[in-house]
């Protein structure tokens, strides 16, 4: 019915941080709380979509009707996303670590009194770029986020082109904005037609607006 316009659609949402191990007890992570990604999964499910939520560790409850696939690392997140295909729409809201420790230690690294250890990093796979280039498996609509601290729209426009996604939701994550971990967000949505500046609102309202826009996109017969 019209109250569940996304019924029959499959959605994949990534959320939260990734944890990249240094040794069995230590890891590299970031400040993502999962609030924005989980709210998007919830909003898509309320519109009737079948939602797979691939998430790093968060304190957020799993939204009703959503299938959670918990992961820790970027490599695990990519594998879980591939396994969730095919999907009509993918929304990548996770804050994936760009790098991981090249060779995580098998045992706890000990303080020996000598020089502190040096971490050598290697690049993680880019999940958004991989989904955007997935050939016949590519979701018909791929939506990314861009977390920026300066020149937000310019950097996000370049990121959209480089990663090959359809829409990118740019948000300012400078510390004073409170975007990481907070309840509010200010979005600049960039698509092929240009930029929409959304008023500052709750992450729940951002999620609701995005879900409605995704529904409108499918409704227009563009995909």
Q: How far is CA 183 from the centre of its chain?
A: 16
Q: Is 210 in the site for ligand PMT (CB under 6 A)?
A: no
**DSSP assignment string, 58-116:** -SPPPPTT-EEEE--SHHHHHHHHHHH-S-SEEEE--B--SEEETT--SSPPP--SSSP
Contacting residue, 53, 66, 89, 127, with ligand PMT by CB under 6 A: 127
What 8-state DSSP symbol labels residue 9?
-
CB 47 to ligand PMT: min, Å: 20
Q: How far apart are CA 98 and CA 94, in angstroms?
A: 11
Q: Which residue has the tokens 């929304």?
A: 91
Dig out the tokens for 20 from the structure: 């990249």
Choices 3-11, 44-52, 143-151, 191-199; region in contact with ligand PMT by CB under 6 A: 143-151
Annotated binding residue at 44? no
Q: How many residues make contact with ligand PMT (CB under 6 A)?
A: 29
Q: Is 30 a catalytic residue?
A: yes
Annotated binding residue at 137? no
Annotated binding residue at 64? no
- Rounded to a whole number of angstroms, the distance between the first and last alpha carbons of the chain is 19
Q: How far apart are CA 176 and CA 153, in angstroms?
A: 18
Which residue stretches of 8-73 are H helix?
35-46
Contacting residue, 5, 11, 27, 33, with ligand PMT by CB under 6 A: 33
Annotated binding residue at 203? no
Contacting residue, 53, 134, 173, 190, with ligand PMT by CB under 6 A: 173
Please check whether residue 54 is in contact with residue 15, taking contact to mean a CB–CB distance below 8 angstroms. Answer: yes
CB 114 to ligand PMT: min, Å: 33
Q: Is 145 in the site for ligand PMT (CB under 6 A)?
A: yes
> Which residues of this protein are in contact with ligand PMT, per CB under 6 A?
14, 32-37, 74, 92-96, 98, 124, 126-128, 144-147, 159, 171, 173, 179-181, 203
Active site (catalytic) residues = 30
| Residue stretches of the annotated binding site for CTP | 98, 108, 125-128, 145, 159, 163
| Residue stretches of the annotated binding site | 98, 108, 125-128, 145, 159, 163
């Amino acid at each position: 019915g019209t109250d569940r316009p996304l019924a029959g659609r499959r959605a994949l949402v990534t959320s939260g941080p990734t944890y990249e191990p240094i040794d069995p007890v230590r890891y590299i992570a970031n400040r993502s709380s999962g609030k924005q990604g989980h709210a998007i999964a919830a909003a898509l499910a309320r519109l009737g979509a079948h939602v797979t939520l691939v998430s790093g560790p968060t304190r957020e409850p799993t939204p009703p009707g959503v299938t959670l696939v918990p992961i820790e690392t970027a490599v695990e997140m990519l594998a879980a996303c591939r396994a969730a295909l095919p999907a009509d729409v993918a929304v990548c809201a996770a804050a994936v670590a760009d790098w991981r420790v090249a060779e995580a230690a098998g045992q706890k690294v000990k303080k020996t009194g000598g020089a502190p250890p040096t971490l050598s990093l290697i690049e993680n796979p880019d999940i958004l770029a991989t989904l955007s280039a997935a050939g016949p498996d590519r979701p018909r609509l791929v939506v990314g986020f861009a977390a920026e601290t300066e020149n937000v729209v310019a950097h996000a426009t370049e990121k959209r082109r480089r990663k090959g996604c359809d829409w990118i939701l740019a948000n300012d994550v400078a510390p004073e904005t409170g975007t990481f971990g907070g309840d509010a967000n200010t979005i600049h949505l960039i698509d092929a037609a240009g930029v929409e500046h959304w008023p500052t609102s709750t992450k729940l309202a951002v999620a609701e607006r995005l879900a409605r826009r995704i529904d409108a996109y499918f409704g227009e017969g563009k995909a």
